[in-house]
């Protein structure tokens, strides 16, 4: 019995060291919901932000939320934040089309891109897909 336990411990240690760091990081990360907006976008962006705030409260323990401001005056800082989130390419592609909500799984694969204002139910359904995809 002791040999079996020792063998299992050694096997586990091998697996833990054999897995790439990105795999372990992906398992720890939560799905990500990103609102890309622009301060000059008054009508549509300001309709989406309150909905995102409600969803953030509902999904706080299961999903990470971020807002990225595509306003020219803060674009350099926002690109850095997008890079830190692991979604710079997606942000660069969508910065001109605001508002847009990007929903990613825990590996930062895009699950859904939702341009313009949508209903809370539309956002929730796609967030749920990202959660299920991340399991």
pTM over 0.85: no
The enclosing H or E element of 57 equals: helix 45-58
pLDDT for the residue 94 = 78
Chunked mean pLDDT (size 10), the chain, 135 residues = 51 45 57 94 90 95 95 94 93 86 95 95 96 87
Burial 59-91 (b: 16+ CB within 10 A, else e): beeebbbbbbbbeeeeeeebbebbeebebeebb
pLDDT for the residue 97 = 84
pLDDT for the residue 131 = 94
Three-class SS string for 77-126? HHHHHHHHHCCHHHHHHHCCCCCEEEEECCCCCEEEEEECCCCHHHHHHH
pLDDT for the residue 28 = 63
Which domains are present in the chain?
Answer: 29-133 (3.40.30.10)
114 has which bridge partners? 101
pLDDT for the residue 3 = 57
Tokens 């990500």 locate to: 32
């Amino acid at each position: 019995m002791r040999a079996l336990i020792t063998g299992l411990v050694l096997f586990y240690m091998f697996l833990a060291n054999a897995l790439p760091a990105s795999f372990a990081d992906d398992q720890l990360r939560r799905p990500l919901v990103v609102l890309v907006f622009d301060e000059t976008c008054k009508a549509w962006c300001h309709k989406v932000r309150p909905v995102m705030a409600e969803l953030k409260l509902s999904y706080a323990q299961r999903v990470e939320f971020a807002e990225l401001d595509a306003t020219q005056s803060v674009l350099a800082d926002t690109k850095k934040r997008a890079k830190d989130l692991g979604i710079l390419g997606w942000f660069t592609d969508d910065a001109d089309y605001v508002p847009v909500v990007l929903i990613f799984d825990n590996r930062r694969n895009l699950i859904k891109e939702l341009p313009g204002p949508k209903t809370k139910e539309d956002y929730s359904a796609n967030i749920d897909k990202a959660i299920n995809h991340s399991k």
